[in-house]
Structure 1
Amino acid sequence: MTVNENDGDTTFADLGLRSELLDVLSALGYEEPTPIQGEAIPPLVEGRDLLGQAATGTGKTAAFALPVLQRMPPPGDGGGPVALILVPTRELAVQVSEAFHRYGRTLGTRVLPIYGGAPIVRQLQALKRGVDIVVATPGRALDHIGRGTLDLRDLRTVVLDEADEMLDMGFADDIEEILAATPEERQTVLFSATLPPRIDGIARRHLRDPVRIEMGHAAAEGREATPLVEQTAYLVARSHKPAALGRLLDIEAPTAAIIFCRTREEVDQLTEAMNGRGYRAEALHGGMEQEQRDRVMARLRAGTADLLVATDVAARGLDIEQLTHVVNYNVPSAPEAYVHRIGRVGRAGREGVALTLVEPREHRMLKSIERVTKQRISVERLPTVADLRARRMELTRAALEECLLQDDLEPFRVVVESLADEFDLMEVALAAVKLAHESSGGALDEEEIPEISPRTVDKRGGQRDGRPDGQRYGRGPAGGMARLFFNVGRSAGIRPQDLVGAIAGESRLSGRDIGAIEIAERFSLVEVPDSAADEVIAALRRATIKGRRPTVRRERETHTRRPR
């Protein structure tokens, strides 16, 4: 059975939840369920097994926590725990436990997180006193099962949360062993951001006639115009990536950001570089002790750090409330990793930004991610020094406006009045703005980051070999193709997708009919089928691209690039 997202105005009361849970949800300010909650809670309350595809931040913790609490026996009934929640990381175990405490606070529910890196004695003592719900990482859960301290005989529900993450971390055998130790007549719930074949294998072996829910997959296609996570990529040469990252962070000014790197060494080097640029950056990777990790997360949540530079493994399971940006310092090697990374923002209805730095050789990986996620990643040019200066000036203006609206400026009147006797008031204001601008870093000298373009770019944004300005385009059009000249280029903000969209929108050609695209500073060249070239020229006479009506004609054989 497959369920898609519900568009109705469902309330929590419509889901059949007990009054104690409804009161808690109301007190927490939750007015209506998220789509995953609206679809998952009813069958889970009925005791059905469930296989759910849902990204981080869609509300899936409440989607399984509320039904588990709904079906809890009265306090004092039974012996061992009635629910076991398996999660990939210590951080997620703590977060899920806190959610159970929050939702079940009036029910007297006893919840225990168990994970590695924490004193096992306290966990043993709590298990001996008795608990109702255990939230565990697979390794520590198996440890307690082997010791005989985690009794699963009374278990009613098993939840595998972020199942694909657990498999990626090598917990497949542990999960199989844990499930084998649970009662056959149990409810099994599996949530995963992606559904690779290994997840389907676990579902076939351990779930009985499950309800299947897919969120953010087919339904996401209808929301592509306004995604919660704005996804953008930038073509950058490897040697310029640290400078490019700093430029983007200066422009974006994130409240808090995670920057994903491939290796521990890269994390350490980039953290040092970002701190050198004046950011408050913290490193997080597998080479750090748990105590160090906890201190880093505490600083980030307290706002004393604004950048977290991390590896994928170290950042799994993190939930940072104030996070606004995710940066892929490298293109992830697997689309699933990209999904998990950008799932850190755009959570619970909030908007977020995902930025990816792409080396030319990584372009194919970016296209693979687009195919799997069925979402377009816009490829943009890096901001220039002029863009950065304009942005800093904008921030200075915003800071001054806020000061004018909120601050008590009276103590400074004597300074202005004394200067006004000697200088024009406008000059006094200009000097004050200059000081404010420079004190905020506005006078920082920046070097231009060389653009990878001009390049030969295919219609999907891919880069091929470029030629310096002043050289003739030596390569002719492909067989059966004609090359059209457009008098608009990079200086007008033209991108390959703009040209493809104009041609496909105004003529009978589709995007796949269009060949190579070359974008220079003041013009562009586009290959189209020779038989359709004149039709395209005629169709584009009244069209506009980026607000401009271009001149379109067949390319002259002797066309050369003009010097800048």
Structure 2
Amino acid sequence: MNDFSTLALRREIIESATARGFERMTPVQAQTLPAILTGDDVLGQAETGSGKTAAFGFGLLNKLAVERAETQALVLCPTRELADQVGQALRQFAATIANVKLMTLCGGTPMRAQVNSLAQPPHIVVGTPGRVLAHLRRESLHTHALQTLVLDEADRMLDMGFIDDIEAIVGCLPDERQTLLFSATWPDAIREVSTRLQRNPKQITASADRQPLRITQIFHQVDDADKLVALEQVLADTQQRHKAFTQALVFCNRRDDVDRVCAHLNKRGVAALALHGDREQRERDEVLLRFANQSCAVLVATDVAARGLDIASLPLVVSVDLARDIDTHTHRIGRTGRAGEAGRAVSFCTPRERDRAERIAAAGGFRLNWSRWPETQASARAQPPMATLVVQGGRRDKLRPGDILGALTGEGGLTGDDVGKIEITTVRSYVAVARAKAVPARDRLRQAGIKKRRFRVGVLDD
């Protein structure tokens, strides 16, 4: 049986798996966890959504000595967004183990604040290579007690040019350690890195144990000058199909095109947000949070910026610019049709790009479905049902989700149905509330406070 109880896992981790609804192991967990638990290095091929975070997370937590105030595990990720996602997952996995301290170390956060926090070493560090290396060089991060190194989405890190930073980081780590390397693909560069960083790794290829993808792929031949009109029509057609608020993820290849498309949609009454590398890290974090909160209808992004984005129900993905290769195309369309739901992936293709589209289809093993982009008299206007409040107080102020929910409901005037996701960071808290009640909710929190304390509160969508 693919049951976690059949493995030599500590009781708290099995309780965590049960609490999170993990009824049985996914293929990647069933194949990698036995090797991880016996201390072997692992070279694992697994896609996003396959359950690999739980595989390496349960493994590193299983041998964590909480009584030792030392950094014992390091997880490297290619982007801040993925690092945050992995960090949140590990915190949830560790919820049943008392006093586990975890830190994310990424750019976009002041070094001094991180240095101060590292004065009390975390048991687990999740971060991007550049920022982790910066702390190692200034000796604010100590890794003499490190037991486990994880490289998550290693192929993406190599694509982004992080190999020198990774090798420099490894040079600061103990030779006696376990190294777990997970990658969606195994190009020669990954195998070469594995040879240098790992010792006789168990090589495991696992596919995600999930329902078959129900994605309808559609290709429209569109001239560059017509792309914005075609995008409006595709969005309007989707709204008509669902007869309710729906969200869409739109990909562009260039940052300036992301801004251009986003500005056009907002002028046309579609609540859109832009996500790319030129934005400050806090802005990028808040854009992703607002999209996850249903506080915007359309997210327009570059591929790197959208890495790690995981929205459970997303009916539509549009590539305004055709993906450059099959891996990028696969990553894009994989954002829809998740959890067994149906999804549509629409790709625009100029006449000069037809050959590239044919190559992508051939490499992906699917047939091109060409059609005329829809023409409808309906408007693409879409205002989201939720707005996001930002409270200038967080974990540092001992705030918990229940504190904020309690302040908003009851005498606060909102019902439980009016409140959506609540996310608390070190210094800020974000809460999704029904858009029509956002301003009264803001005013209520400003006047009555939370836990008898006053905090600055604003509507993030302003």
TM-score range with shorter-chain normalisation? 0.7 to 0.9
- State the one-letter code of the partner of 2:152: D
Gaps in structure 2 of 5+ consecutive residues: 240-244, 380-462
- The Cα offsets for residues 500-521 of structure 1, whole Å up to 9 and x where unpaired, read as xxxxxxxxxxxxxxxxxxxxxx
Instruction: Give the Å deviation of 1:333.
Output: 1.4
Provide the rounded CA distance (Å) in 2 between the counterparts of 1:133 and 1:258: 32
- The Cα offsets for residues 372-419 of structure 1, whole Å up to 9 and x where unpaired, read as 33x31541313543xx46x99xxxxxxxxxxxxxxxxxxxxxxxxxxx
Match of 2:51 among 54, 59, 69: 59
Provide the rounded CA distance (Å) in 2 between the counterparts of 1:123 and 1:42: 35
Report matched runs for 1:39-58 at 5 Å: 39-58=31-50
More deviation, 139-148/254-263: 254-263
Distance 1:343 1:34, change over 3 A: same
Residues 1:31 and 2:17 are matched in the alignment:
no
Structure 2 counterpart of 1:93: 83
SS in 2 for 1:44: helix
SS in 1 for 2:258: helix
Structure 2 counterpart of 1:154: 145
The answer to whether the Cα contact below 8 Å between 2:33 and 2:56 also exists between their aligned partners in 1 is yes
Distance 1:190 1:24, change over 3 A: same
- State the one-letter code of the partner of 2:20: L
Provide the rounded CA distance (Å) in 1 between the counterparts of 2:111 and 2:138: 12
Residues 1:276 and 2:267 are matched in the alignment:
yes
- State the one-letter code of the partner of 1:242: L
- State the one-letter code of the partner of 2:63: R
- State the one-letter code of the partner of 1:94: D
More deviation, 343-352/41-50: 343-352
Distance 1:377 1:134, change over 3 A: farther
Distance 1:314 1:361, change over 3 A: same
Match of 1:81 among 64, 67, 71: 71
Instruction: Give the Å deviation of 1:114.
Output: 0.7
Distance 1:177 1:103, change over 3 A: same
Residues 1:17 and 2:17 are matched in the alignment:
no
Match of 1:233 among 178, 197, 219: 219
Provide the rounded CA distance (Å) in 1 between the counterparts of 2:213 and 2:103: 36
- The Cα offsets for residues 195-239 of structure 1, whole Å up to 9 and x where unpaired, read as 22211211121122222222349x99xx9xx53444332222222
Provide the rounded CA distance (Å) in 2 between the counterparts of 1:34 and 1:87: 22
Provide the rounded CA distance (Å) in 2 between the counterparts of 1:60 and 1:45: 14
Provide the rounded CA distance (Å) in 1 between the counterparts of 2:326 and 2:214: 18
Structure 2 counterpart of 1:556: none
The answer to whether the Cα contact below 8 Å between 1:57 and 1:344 also exists between their aligned partners in 2 is no
Which one has a bigger Cα radius of gyration? 1
Count of equivalent residues: 373
Structure 2 counterpart of 1:68: 60
Provide the rounded CA distance (Å) in 1 between the counterparts of 2:117 and 2:357: 47
- State the one-letter code of the partner of 2:79: T
Report matched runs for 1:352-501 at 5 Å: 352-373=343-364, 375-385=365-375, 388=376
Residues 1:250 and 2:250 are matched in the alignment:
no
- The Cα offsets for residues 3-31 of structure 1, whole Å up to 9 and x where unpaired, read as xxxxxx51222333222111122122221
Provide the rounded CA distance (Å) in 2 between the counterparts of 1:93 and 1:329: 27
Structure 2 counterpart of 1:320: 311
Instruction: Select the structure with the greater relative contact order (CA < 8 A; seq sep ≥ 6).
Output: 2
Report matched runs for 1:253-332 at 5 Å: 253=239, 255-332=246-323
- State the one-letter code of the partner of 1:238: D
- The Cα offsets for residues 473-518 of structure 1, whole Å up to 9 and x where unpaired, read as xxxxxxxxxxxxxxxxxxxxxxxxxxxxxxxxxxxxxxxxxxxxxx
- The Cα offsets for residues 73-132 of structure 1, whole Å up to 9 and x where unpaired, read as 2x213x531110000111211111111110111212211111111122232222221211
- The Cα offsets for residues 129-179 of structure 1, whole Å up to 9 and x where unpaired, read as 121110011001000100111111111111111112212222111011111
Instruction: Give the Å deviation of 1:265.
Output: 1.8
The answer to whether the Cα contact below 8 Å between 1:138 and 1:174 also exists between their aligned partners in 2 is yes
SS in 2 for 1:354: strand
The answer to whether the Cα contact below 8 Å between 2:322 and 2:347 also exists between their aligned partners in 1 is yes
SS in 1 for 2:95: coil
Residues 1:335 and 2:335 are matched in the alignment:
no
Distance 1:201 1:120, change over 3 A: same
Instruction: Give the Å deviation of 1:258.
Output: 1.6
TM-score, normalised with respect to structure 1? 0.62
The answer to whether the Cα contact below 8 Å between 1:88 and 1:317 also exists between their aligned partners in 2 is no
TM-score, normalised with respect to structure 2? 0.75
The answer to whether the Cα contact below 8 Å between 1:255 and 1:322 also exists between their aligned partners in 2 is no
SS in 1 for 2:278: coil
Provide the rounded CA distance (Å) in 2 between the counterparts of 1:230 and 1:252: 13
Residues 1:123 and 2:109 are matched in the alignment:
no
- State the one-letter code of the partner of 1:38: A
Provide the rounded CA distance (Å) in 2 between the counterparts of 1:330 and 1:193: 23
SS in 2 for 1:379: coil
Instruction: Give the Å deviation of 1:316.
Output: 2.3
Q: Quick one: percent identity of the two aligned structures?
A: 40
The answer to whether the Cα contact below 8 Å between 2:133 and 2:165 also exists between their aligned partners in 1 is yes
SS in 2 for 1:105: helix
Provide the rounded CA distance (Å) in 2 between the counterparts of 1:377 and 1:272: 34
Residues 1:205 and 2:196 are matched in the alignment:
yes
Distance 1:367 1:378, change over 3 A: closer
SS in 1 for 2:304: helix
Distance 1:189 1:228, change over 3 A: farther
The answer to whether the Cα contact below 8 Å between 2:291 and 2:299 also exists between their aligned partners in 1 is yes
- The Cα offsets for residues 304-352 of structure 1, whole Å up to 9 and x where unpaired, read as 2011111122222333344333221111112222233233334455554
- State the one-letter code of the partner of 1:82: Q
Off by >6 Å, runs of 4+ in structure 1: none
- State the one-letter code of the partner of 1:93: A
- The Cα offsets for residues 457-486 of structure 1, whole Å up to 9 and x where unpaired, read as xxxxxxxxxxxxxxxxxxxxxxxxxxxxxx
